[in-house]
Amino acid sequence: MLHKFKFAILGMLSLFAVSAFAQDGTIYPLEAPSEPNAIPLNTGGVDDQPASESWFKQWGDPMARNITKATLTPFLPEPGKANGAAVIVAPGGGFRWLSLGNEGWEVAEALAKQGYAAFVLKYRLHPTVESLDDFTAWMNRPRPPAPAENSSEKKEEAPAPPLQRDLSNQLEDAEAAYAMIVNRAKEWGVDTNRIGMIGFSAGAGLTMHSTLNSKTMKLAFIGPIYGGMGPVEVPKNAPPMFNVIASDDFLFRGQFGVIDSWYKAGIPVEFHLYQNGGHGFGLGNPNRTSNRWFDAFIHWLDVNGFQSEMTAEK
């Protein structure tokens, strides 16, 4: 089927899921931080995984790779501030690592300050080499240049399908996270009719993949942030979408396919194409127009009734 995965994993998705505007792109070893609130999802391991989970730091952010055990970490609002809505947060990293700082914990903390129960999904990843030096060499390998402004690839409305990847583990993790939030909704003060999902780069791909393929998740809204922009086959029950990308993001390439798909399906969609920001900007980078996306997202949630109990019409 077209939606099984015209997003196809958004190409290499976030092979560069880091900010070009941070101070230091060098990859440093990092001792695994404590994650006292991380709840195991018990979804199994990863086949053909020779290495154990390890961490590194790049652009000042903690990142994890070779994740074989998925977890969910709650970030709950202060008492009296909760609005009852919940957001699953899926960091990016090309399905090879997770940028858990700027695309996970920081975003969840910001959502909790706005009254949302936020949950960072640490999903299973495809294997990478055990040695950090070998991983660094792989990350720094030469890559083909972006298509020229006047190239035929740039002008094509629907580019050639990107490399297919098996996302069965990641979808299972997302479904388990959703089920856990539903099962513990009373404990966490969550309205099960207002559970949404937001993702960054590869996490945006997982958000979209879950929307298009899950039989168990009933997401109230989605927020793919700098994800793939190719067209998809939209399910009849698809949720409203808030979509963000910068024009200087290598994933953009002048494409509006997913926006057009949502629009033609008659489902509410809001799209922000920012002048600059590059890829992997998280909540923002210095002096970039994309820095206001989070405020726009919160406003969108408010206008659409997700900050308070939704009416029957919604």
Q: Which domains does the chain have, with CATH numbers?
A: 27-131+166-304 (3.40.50.1820)
CA-wise closest residue to 63 among 20, 99, 104:
99
Question: What pLDDT sits at residue 146?
Answer: 52
What b/e string do you get for 28-53 counting C-beta neighbours within 10 Å, with b at 16 or more?
eebeeeeeeeebebebeebeebeeee
Return per-residue pLDDT of the chain as tens, 314 residues.
444 433 333 333 333 333 333 456 899 999 999 999 999 999 999 998 878 999 999 988 999 999 999 999 999 999 899 999 999 999 999 999 999 999 999 999 999 999 999 999 999 999 999 999 989 998 888 766 555 444 333 333 333 334 457 999 999 999 999 999 999 999 999 999 999 999 999 999 999 999 999 999 999 999 999 999 999 999 999 999 999 999 999 999 999 999 999 999 999 999 999 999 989 898 998 899 999 999 999 999 999 999 875 433 33
pTM (two decimals): 0.86
